[in-house]
Amino acid sequence: MVDVTVRGAGVFGLSVAWCCARRGARVRVVDPFGPGAGASGGLVGALAPHVPENWNEKKAFQFDSLIMAESFWADVAAAGGHDPGYLRSGRLQPLADDHAVALARQRSETARELWQGKAVWEVIQASDSGDWAPQSPSGLLIHDTLTARLHPRKACAALVVACAARGVEIVREAKDQGAIIWATGVHDLEAMSHPAGRTLGNGVKGQAALLRFEARDRPQLFADALHIVPHGDGTVAIGSTSERDYDDPCAVDAQLDDVIARARAAFPVLAGAEVLERWAGVRPRARSRAPVLGPHPLRNGAFIANGGFKIGFGMAPKVGAVMADLVLDGIDRIPDGFRPETF
């Protein structure tokens, strides 16, 4: 017998299972495809914050989760002995002109208040970063210290062994027992839309690449809508596309070639880096672009944790915590904008 059944072994499902198990619950995770088989098995792993302005519940939730992430992933690594590849490495972004520089300096002021002194957003000279910097017409960069990285596949693998150390079963199929939490990504998000008679969410395809390049302790780079993420194993991930229309969710094509070319143009240091892997997958995007958390809208008595489009790994620590509060103790700390009924 188990207290909690989690359906879905992506980063949301595994994080919820980990948080519930740490609090003494008996947990089973069920996924016919195995852990990290969907969007959570990607390459990029950019844990990047929203800009520090126009503060709202989504940005506040993400900020809290990014601050929690260091201890969350350290505990996961300690429990199972597997490194999730986490590092709060910071991020560099180019500034195109005087207007962009003025806006960035204004945001550095709001960051002092909104980020509570736990991270900074500042304008620096591009020359201070040497060759590891994006091309910047103004000669200046945004540097923030809140951005972090992890390796998506290694993070899921670390959660699997950490959960196992807490007695969590991860199986391909089993009957529901105890509280049921659906964290099945695109499948459930799209399935909910048909009975509801409106679109609650959809899948968005992303393509990304992994390059051989040693930059393991360097900050992330962001330019031309691309994330350049150095990992701790001597690779750099580049991503990604955002495709609403596609025929094959797992096919890589010329759109990824364009991403790689743009990345090398923006960051010439990557010009000769070997492409090790090309990846494509579909990410669950809720209509509001915020996670969908709370009682499941169509499965009576069950719960949902879904919709981590682009920010799933960054949101996962707090998603796990608030869902464990709700399911185990009936304590509801879910922001109103994340609730299924608001969609």
For the chain, what's the residue count?
343
Domain ranges of the chain: 4-87+148-200+287-342, 91-145, 201-285
The DSSP symbol for 63 reads: H
Residue 152 to residues 37, 45, 159, 176, Cα–Cα distance (Å): 11, 5, 11, 27
% of the chain with per-residue pLDDT over 70: 98
For residues 321 and 130, the model is more confident at 321
H runs (alpha helix) in the chain: 11-22, 57-80, 98-114, 152-165, 186-196, 254-266, 312-324
Do the domains spanning 4-87+148-200+287-342 and 201-285 agree at the CATH topology level? no
Q: Supply the pLDDT for residue 199.
A: 72
Superfamily of domain 4-87+148-200+287-342: FAD/NAD(P)-binding domain (3.50.50.60)
Q: Supply the pLDDT for residue 200.
A: 76
Strand partners, 179: 4
pLDDT tens, 151-200? 999 999 999 999 999 999 999 999 999 999 999 999 888 887 766 566 77
Residue closest to 4 by CA, chosen among 176, 178, 167? 178
Largest CA distance in the chain: 63
Q: With 90 as the cut, is the pLDDT of residue 243 above it?
A: yes
Q: In angstroms, how far is CA 243 from the centroid of its own chain? A: 18
Torsion sign (Cα): 36, 40, 43, 48: negative
Q: Supply the pLDDT for residue 31.
A: 97
Arch. (CATH architecture) of 201-285 = 2-Layer Sandwich (3.30)
Q: With 80 as the cut, is the pLDDT of residue 35 above it?
A: yes
Q: Supply the pLDDT for residue 310.
A: 87
How open is the CA angle 335-338-343, to the nearest 5 degrees? 135
How open is the CA angle 8-10-14, to the nearest 5 degrees? 80
- Model pTM score: 0.95
Q: Supply the pLDDT for residue 195.
A: 64
Q: With 90 as the cut, is the pLDDT of residue 207 above it?
A: yes
Q: With 90 as the cut, is the pLDDT of residue 334 above it?
A: yes
Q: With 80 as the cut, is the pLDDT of residue 144 above it?
A: yes
Strand order in the sheet with 303-306: 169-171, 27-30, 4-7, 179-182, 303-306, 292-295
Find the Cα–Cα–Cα–Cα dihedral 321, 307, 173, 154, rounded to 10°.
-70
Contact 260, 127 (CB under 8 A): no
Could you give the CA distance from residue 307 to residue 38 in angstroms, rounded to a whole number?
Answer: 13
Residue closest to 274 by CA, chosen among 331, 209, 338, 218? 209
Contact 195, 298 (CB under 8 A): yes
Q: Supply the pLDDT for residue 343.
A: 62
State the average pLDDT for the chain: 95
Residue 309 to residues 1, 134, 208, 251, Cα–Cα distance (Å): 33, 25, 15, 19
Could you give the CA distance from residue 152 to residue 204 in angstroms, rounded to a whole number?
Answer: 18
- The angle, 0 to 180 degrees and rounded to 10, between the axes of the packed helices 11-22 and 152-165 is 30
pLDDT tens, 89-103? 999 999 999 999 999
Strand partners, 71: none
One-letter amino acid for residue 169 of the chain:
E
List Cβ neighbours of 66 (8 Å cut-off, separation of 6 or more).
47, 49, 146, 148, 314
Q: With 80 as the cut, is the pLDDT of residue 61 above it?
A: yes
Confidence of residue 26 (pLDDT cuts 50, 70, 90): very high
Q: Which residues of 210-238 are buried (b: 16+ CB within 10 A; e: fewer)?
A: bbebebbebbbbbbeebbbbbbbeebbbb
- Going by DSSP bridges, is the β-strand pair 148-149/46-47 parallel, antiparallel, or unpaired? antiparallel
Strand order in the sheet with 121-125: 121-125, 140-144, 91-94, 220-223, 226-230, 235-239, 201-212, 274-286
Confidence of residue 342 (pLDDT cuts 50, 70, 90): low
